[in-house]
Structure 1
Amino acid sequence: MIDLVTKLVLKPLAKALYRPTIEGLENVPRKGGVILASNHMSFVDSVVIPLAAPRQVFFLAKAEYFTGTGLKGAVSRFFFTHVINAVPVERGSVRAATASLDEGLEILTSGRAFGIYPEGTRSLDGRLYRGKTGVAWLALTAGVPVVPVALEGPQHILPVGKRIPRLHKISVKFGEPLRFDELHGQARSAKARRQVTDEVMAAIQALSGQESAEQYNESPKAA
């Protein structure tokens, strides 16, 4: 019942408020495992993509969002569970990072769509940073296509440091699926993972028009 309300009320209301421009819906496979690899501009990116996509998209979110108490905790659980289809994971260590990839792999092998930000964290200066190779490991291990996604506008809805969303027009572009059948099974190869990741990031950059930073991003705290 809750999911039905989210689908029939909350999502149409959000679309009416933010009037997203959506391109390339035909590029998203309607069935089977698929990775939606996007640039990362804002915390609300994980809301925008599920609103725009033609099928359910699952993301990973830190476990703390699901364990809060009181009204704030209840609202957080509802939002991450029913609005953005988030799966809770622990973060902060190599073991946690591996567990996150395993969760993503389970989502893909069960035939669902998995959203990921290869940059790892939000871009604070608007540039597109070098991708981390987890996206390639998932694609090569699961043998699924990668759909590049470019977002524009979410960074103005909830700028870093702000708590109250603003109204701003959003653009979402879904690119043509990238397939790496010739490299399937080579997930352990650092060279193959780097090649796939660079191709994914090049496709995202072509859609978004962002300047390439040619380096890995730092966390918002470090910045």
Structure 2
Amino acid sequence: MMEFYSASDTCPIKPTDKPINPKVAVSSARISPWLTPLAYFLGHHFLLPFFFGNIKITGQENIPKTGPVILAPTHRARWDSLLLPYAAGRYVTGRDLQFMVTIDECQGLQGWLIRRMGGFPVNPQHPAVATLRHAVEVLQQEQMLVIYPEGDIFRDGKVHQLKPGIARLALSAESHHPGLGVKIIPVGINYSEPYPSWGADVSIEIGSAMNVKDYTNGKAKQNAKRLTEDLTRTLQHLSNQELAVSHHAFAEISNS
């Protein structure tokens, strides 16, 4: 499970001009210069095409190739975190993705791999301010960050209540650095079956960019609420558009 937790309203996220010590903030999370290319290659050419029957991806032109970006996908299966780099990673945009991950996902061999693929942990019960600041710093460095706004995996095809942290983080980064140009990209992920098995179909619908600067006028709480509501509606639209995936109705096949 990958989820974002924000600081409370009384403890806002304050970006800093000083770089955060990665050993403190993210426990050596970094993109490996040799493992990441290998994982992309194996996933793109072998694992995903072999496992899934059809992979349909639309809207890739909506992903900026430069500037700070938050990918905000629905969360339907653990496969999501492999499919997102396939749909929006280095082979498409020339960029690697960084994931905010719950700390229980960063244990053992899996944790070793996640950290070297750009994932960094957050403790859902006691989120460290340094970790949240690191997420803001990723945006300040104009990189691409993945946050699952629903938090948990939901297999009923419905968009569940979004966590407020994604809006607060985006607004914090933009408001403390006017002109940064943070964009949120909604992504709808849908499978032909609730628990994808070999041969299942998947559809990934990438929506238009939401400009965070458009939500910086007014009070912080109201801005975050409005951004969250608009993101919810967009994700619902993307999910409803792709309900046909459960009936194997593909207009175009990208993996044939």
TM bin, normalised by shorter chain, reads: 0.7 to 0.9
* Residue aligning to 2:200: 168
| Cα shift readout 1:145-201 (whole Å, capped 9, x = no counterpart) | 11110000186455xxxxxx5331111111110113243376x62111100010011
Among residues 12, 37, 55, which one is paired with 2:72 in the alignment? 37
* Residue aligning to 1:56: 96
* Deviation at residue 25 of structure 1 after TM alignment: 0.6
Whole-Å Cα distance in 1 between the matches of residues 131 and 190 of structure 2? 26
- Unaligned runs of 5+ residues in structure 1 are 159-164, 211-223
* 1:147 counterpart SS class: strand
Whole-Å Cα distance in 2 between the matches of residues 198 and 87 of structure 1? 27
Whole-Å Cα distance in 2 between the matches of residues 141 and 154 of structure 1? 37
Q: Is 2:115 the counterpart of 1:77? A: no
Among residues 62, 81, 84, which one is paired with 1:27 in the alignment? 62
- Unaligned runs of 5+ residues in structure 2 are 1-33, 175-181, 242-256
* Residue aligning to 2:44: 11
| Cα shift readout 1:104-127 (whole Å, capped 9, x = no counterpart) | 212111111111121121224322
Q: Is 2:230 the counterpart of 1:153? A: no
- Contact 2:158/2:239 (8 A) holds in 1: no
The verdict on how the C-alpha distance between 1:124 and 1:15 changes in structure 2, with shifts beyond 3 A counting, is: closer
* Residue aligning to 1:161: none
AA partner of residue 89 (structure 1):
V
Whole-Å Cα distance in 2 between the matches of residues 12 and 45 of structure 1? 17
* Deviation at residue 78 of structure 1 after TM alignment: 4.7
| Cα shift readout 1:10-49 (whole Å, capped 9, x = no counterpart) | 3321332224211111100011111111111122222221
* Residue aligning to 2:28: none
* Deviation at residue 207 of structure 1 after TM alignment: 1.0
- Taking the TM superposition and a 5 Å limit, the aligned residue runs for 1:112-191 are 112-143=143-174, 144-153=182-191, 156-158=194-196, 166-184=198-216, 189-191=220-222
TM-score of the two chains, using structure 2 as the length reference: 0.67
Root-mean-square deviation (CA, aligned residues, Å) is: 2.4
* Residue aligning to 1:162: none
- Contact 2:155/2:194 (8 A) holds in 1: no
* 1:9 counterpart SS class: helix
- Contact 1:141/1:185 (8 A) holds in 2: no
AA partner of residue 193 (structure 1):
A
Whole-Å Cα distance in 2 between the matches of residues 197 and 4 of structure 1? 34
- Contact 1:80/1:86 (8 A) holds in 2: yes
The verdict on how the C-alpha distance between 1:79 and 1:170 changes in structure 2, with shifts beyond 3 A counting, is: farther
- Contact 1:57/1:115 (8 A) holds in 2: yes
TM-score of the two chains, using structure 1 as the length reference: 0.76
